[in-house]
Structure 1
Amino acid sequence: MPEVIFNGPAGRIEGRYHHSKKANSPVALVLHPHPQFGGTMNNPVTYALFQAFVNRGFSVLRFNFRGVGRSQGGFDSGIGELSDAAAALDWLQSQNPDASQCWIGGFSFGAWIAMQVLMRRPEIEGFISVAPPANMYDFSFLAPCPSSGTIINGGTDQVAPQADVLKLVERLKTQKGITIEHASVEGANHFFENQLEPLAAMVGAYLDKRLAAAPEKS
């Protein structure tokens, strides 16, 4: 999978990109967890999300936020990282101008950023939010949440506790016109240690269902 470098608001951004050979393939952007706690685009959960999209024929980009790996700049408390994600989505779309669908996925801090991107980009049709830290970050900007998606958490997550995630899910479920699903990986901690396979299976099942229901675009 080729390494890519593209320009972001704080300088160069380092990414990994899989390009689908299928014409009009859907695209997906995947965002990694908190840069100040060791989060990178090679985080196992982030990579599992990436592979779930790859396995279903998407062109997929994951990248390092500013100040991580070879990406230039420094941590910016989410403000700059949101700009990085927007630049990454611009780059992904420039490589796939005829994409049939656009999706976003994120893990932990990356899930918080992903949901903010979702609010700003109406072309995003679906999202996968893994362990969103609803106890640490304000998700009230999702009013209303513009697209259907799934939220998945670990049953024994002590970083982003399930009770807080469920409150977020219930609030989003009250909105009309979209469908928010929720799944929990029993016994999984925040990082889904020894539980990546059940997580990947849940993500894959959700994607398969949504893709099967999607109208064909010529």
Structure 2
Amino acid sequence: MSERLDTIQFSGAAGVIDCALDWPIDTPRGWALILHPHPLHGGARDNKVVTTLSRCATQQGLLVVRPDFRGVGLSAGQFDQSRGETVDMLALIEQFSNRFAQWPDGPWLVAGFSFGTSVAAQVHAELADAGAASPRALVLAGTAVNRFRFRQVQPPADTLLVHGELDDVVPLSEGMEFAREHQLPMVVLPQAGHFFHGKLIQLRELVSRHLAGLGT
């Protein structure tokens, strides 16, 4: 998946945020934050959709941070319905920027799968409201933003939404409602379920093309 895998820890409001770092083959030209599905239903940073998204980013020359949310693995705290998780990710972004200051102007992106889409969208909105540097791209797979949304979100017009036609966890109709609400196009993978079993190669190719087209 990457040239090198490391681990790194940041400090969130509940304590340690334990993360994997996926390095690209060459010197990174930017970075990506990729967020996993629901912690209470087995979601963790090694989820196959998350690692597929990571591979897309490393192939674009980005250093990937894959955190475990509160209560998962070595990360401190307990599940907080996306509120605490959003606060933690904002802290992680600030600390990452300080530790890896060699890429102050490099492209960066935020991606999420399932529960992770809600945190990703709300992180983007919080940064926009604060006038902080926003990610170059927002990628949401199996969009469940409204299930855990505690604030208004404003996903950018070039947000990539990907959903499985046969998703039995977050129904396609729910993803389409989010897309309709924000006037965003959505890519539907035929016969794909929530975890994109048998469709991960298609997902990888789709996301890779999108990131390459954005110049990330």
Classify the TM-score, shorter chain.
0.7 to 0.9
CA contact (8 A) 1:30 1:61 kept: yes
Residue 50 of structure 1, aligned match among 54, 57, 62: 54
Flag as ranges the 4+ runs of structure 1 deviating above 6 A.
none
Separation of aligned partners in 1, 2:140 and 2:67: 17
Instruction: Report the count of equivalent residues.
Output: 204
User: Partner of 2:137 in structure 1?
Assistant: 126
The range that moved more, 128-137 or 189-198, is 128-137
Residue 76 of structure 1, aligned match among 73, 80, 95: 80
User: Partner of 1:90 in structure 2?
Assistant: 94
Alpha-carbon displacement from aligned partner over 1:78-119 (angstroms, at most 9, x marks no partner): 111111211222233223332422210000000011000010
User: Partner of 1:22 in structure 2?
Assistant: 27
Does residue 151 (structure 1) correspond to residue 154 (structure 2)? The answer is no
Residue 41 of structure 2, aligned match among 21, 28, 37: 37
Separation of aligned partners in 2, 1:134 and 1:110: 8
Separation of aligned partners in 2, 1:52 and 1:194: 17
Residue 18 of structure 1 aligns to a residue whose secondary structure is: strand
- How far off is 1:47 after superposition? 0.8
What is the TM-score of this pair, normalised by structure 1? 0.86
Instruction: For 1:5, give the aligned amino acid.
Output: Q
**How large is the Cα RMSD of the aligned pairs?**
2.0
Long gaps (5+) in structure 2:
none
Paired-residue identity, %: 27
Does residue 3 (structure 1) correspond to residue 7 (structure 2)? The answer is yes
Does residue 171 (structure 1) correspond to residue 162 (structure 2)? The answer is no
What is the TM-score of this pair, normalised by structure 2? 0.87
CA contact (8 A) 2:23 2:64 kept: yes
Instruction: For 1:22, give the aligned amino acid.
Output: T
